[in-house]
Amino acid sequence: MYPDLFTVIGTPFSTFTRTITLGLHYKGLPFNQIRALPHSATADEHHPFGYLPTLVIETNGREGTLKLRESFAIARYLDRVAPQPSLCIRPGDGHALIEEQMWEFVSLVASYGFPAVEAGVVKPRVALSDEGKATDAEIRENIKPGVERLRRFLTVIEEAMSPEGYVFGGKLSWADFFLYPLLANLRTIPESEVLSKRMLEWMESMDKLEAVKATAPGTLSVGARPT
């Protein structure tokens, strides 16, 4: 039995927040979402460093109300309280030999993918385009080092994926839900030209998921800006 009420603190624009709402949707867990930007008063009230997301859990009298921060902790919690459908893997799912390879992949994406995709390429490209002063050639020059880091990240991550299907072959997992929000944003800008056939096919299979469709509004992937 899982708690009565979940509230996600975080704007849909936030990629880490989307990872968690993807998981909630996929598992059929109802939740409220309070749109908040990082370091806003609401984010600061819920996360010690003002980051997103926080999951507020109201446990119907058992543990009372608590705030769970940090996406890995929230993902693990959701799998424990709602084990089916599982978002974890087992040996034999795709190329996996041990369960922890999924968390290894997740950590690679969160630690190196977020800076490589968002900070190095997507955010500066969108900011400069929105500003409307620089030409496309100037923007490309500005983010050139970021694009090189992005290429390296994508090469590493693709090597860590099964050759077809989801990250771990036929088994959808948190690995897919951590990677997807980043690449869905990347796909909206010209630098998406670095995405390989394998990555584009993976994204197309992800696009078909109801959880992906339900969490698209408010994201860069549909042209939104942070609110």
Smallest separation (angstroms) from ligand GSH to the CB of 197: 28
Task: Classify burial at 3, counting beta carbons within 10 Å of its beta carbon; exposed 0-12, middle 13-18, buried 19 or more.
Answer: middle
Say whether residue 185 binds ligand GSH (CB under 6 A). Answer: no
Q: Which is nearer to ligand GSH, 39 or 62 (CB)?
A: 39
Q: Which is nearer to ligand GSH, 15 or 21 (CB)?
A: 15
- 219 neighbors 227 (Cβ within 8 angstroms): no
Smallest separation (angstroms) from ligand GSH to the CB of 92: 28
What residue ranges in the chain does DSSP mark as E strands?
5-9, 32-34, 54-58, 65-69
Q: Which is nearer to ligand GSH, 73 or 200 (CB)?
A: 73
Contact string (CB under 6 A) for ligand GSH, positions 98-137, x = contact: ------------x---------------------------
Say whether residue 52 binds ligand GSH (CB under 6 A). Answer: yes
Burial 139-168, CB ≥16 within 10 A → b, else e:
beeebeebbebbeebbeebeebbbeebbbb
Contact string (CB under 6 A) for ligand GSH, positions 67-86, x = contact: ---xxx--------------
Say whether residue 54 binds ligand GSH (CB under 6 A). Answer: no
Distances (CA, A) of 214 to 18, 95, 189, 222: 10, 29, 22, 12
Q: Which is nearer to ligand GSH, 38 or 169 (CB)?
A: 38
Q: CA nearest 7: which of 105, 74, 62, 73?
A: 74
Binding residues (CB under 6 A) for ligand GSH: these are 14-16, 38, 51-52, 70-72, 110
